[in-house]
Amino acid sequence: MSAILAIAKLDAAYGETKVLSQVDLSIEEGGITALLGANGAGKTTLLRAICNMMVKVRGEISFMGTRIDGRATESIARLGIGHVPDGRGTFSHLSVEENLRLGAYTRRDRKGVADDFERVYTYFPRLRERHLQQAGTLSGGEQQMLAIARALMMRPKLLLLDEPSFGLAPVIVQEIFRILGAINRDEKMSMLLVEQNANLALDLADHAYLIETGEIVMGGEAAVISGNPSVRRAYLGY
């Protein structure tokens, strides 16, 4: 397997505040890589850095062999990186269907888009039920599903997921993670999953990185990481 995304010597800062330093990371094509770390470790910042969004970045980021660092956020998205952001990025005054249409905004293949509506509604039947509802009135879990579905409408080659479990009831979280697993299995879609809930993430992922105060401190196969005694103590709680 080869890397779909490769990051080398990446620094990132908000204004003068440096958040990431010398991050090296790569994501295997077709796999799910988890990025674990405590609150404030720099997980969200790393996702933002990949999309050149709100942060100042130095270093190299390559996506499918081309350098993308320094490109505009929207052109990175057009290359095939779907970002399910922190806070879900819901267009709350628009309907569910309009949110999904926006996900497919850059596509010109009408037939494919119509098929993809069917595809995401199959993954998330609840969204089909509520397709005319204003997105701001959905529950938190439904908004999270909508955010993932919206990113899927782009037919991305890589999906970046920023804490999809955040603030949701465990039963909903399980449902979402089950669907993410299914998408990865059925479509071989590569994913970078940022999570605080290490148990969940390590179950789903095949590779994992551990980030502490802006630096990658460990990386490798998910099974190996979850077997590491210090990881078990600090992140898995046993």
Q: List, in sequence order, every residue forming a beta bridge with 23; answer none if it has no partner.
A: 10
Integer Cα distance of 204 and 195 in angstroms: 11
Binder among 56, 101, 126, 131 for other proteins (CB under 8 A): 101
Strands 32-37 and 207-212: parallel
- DSSP-derived letter for residue 71 is S
Regarding 83 and contact with other proteins (CB under 8 A), the answer is yes
Using the rule CB under 8 A, is 102 a contact of other proteins? yes
Identify residues 152-211 at the interface with other proteins (CB under 8 A). Answer: 153-154
Going from the C-alpha of 223 to that of each of 29, 209, 219, the distances in angstroms are 18, 12, 11
- Computed on alpha carbons and rounded to an integer, the radius of gyration of the chain in Å comes to 17
The residues in 103-122 that bind other proteins, with binding defined as CB under 8 A, are 103, 105-106
Candidates 28-36, 38-46, 75-83, 124-132; binding stretch for other proteins (CB under 8 A)? 75-83
Three-state secondary-structure class, residue 67: strand
Q: Which of 114, 115, 129, 139 binds other proteins (CB under 8 A)?
A: 139
Nearer to other proteins, 146 or 198 (CB): 146
In the block, tokens 């909903």 appear at 172
Tell me how far CA of residue 125 lies from CA of 10, 120, 229, in angstroms.
39, 8, 40
Mask of contacts with other proteins, 8-47, x by CB under 8 A?
----------------------------------------
Nearest-angstrom CA–CA distance, 59 and 156: 24
| Cα(212)–Cα(228) distance, integer angstroms | 16
Q: How far is the CB of 209 from other proteins (least distance, A)?
A: 22
Number of residues located near other proteins, criterion CB under 8 A: 35
Residue 207 near residue 15, CB atoms below 8 Å = no
Under the binding rule (CB under 8 A), the answer on residue 73 touching other proteins is yes
If DSSP codes are grouped into helix, strand and coil, which group holds residue 5?
strand
231 touches other proteins by CB under 8 A: no
Among 2, 92, 174, 230, binds other proteins (CB under 8 A): 92
Q: Which two tokens stand for residue 178?
A: 């089950």
According to the binding rule CB under 8 A, does residue 128 interact with other proteins? no
Q: Which is nearer to other proteins, 153 or 201 (CB)?
A: 153
**Which of 29, 98, 175, 206 forms a contact with other proteins (CB under 8 A)?**
98
Residues that bind other proteins in the complex, under the rule CB under 8 A = 51, 53-54, 72-75, 77-78, 82-83, 85, 89-94, 98, 101-103, 105-106, 134, 136-140, 143, 150-151, 153-154
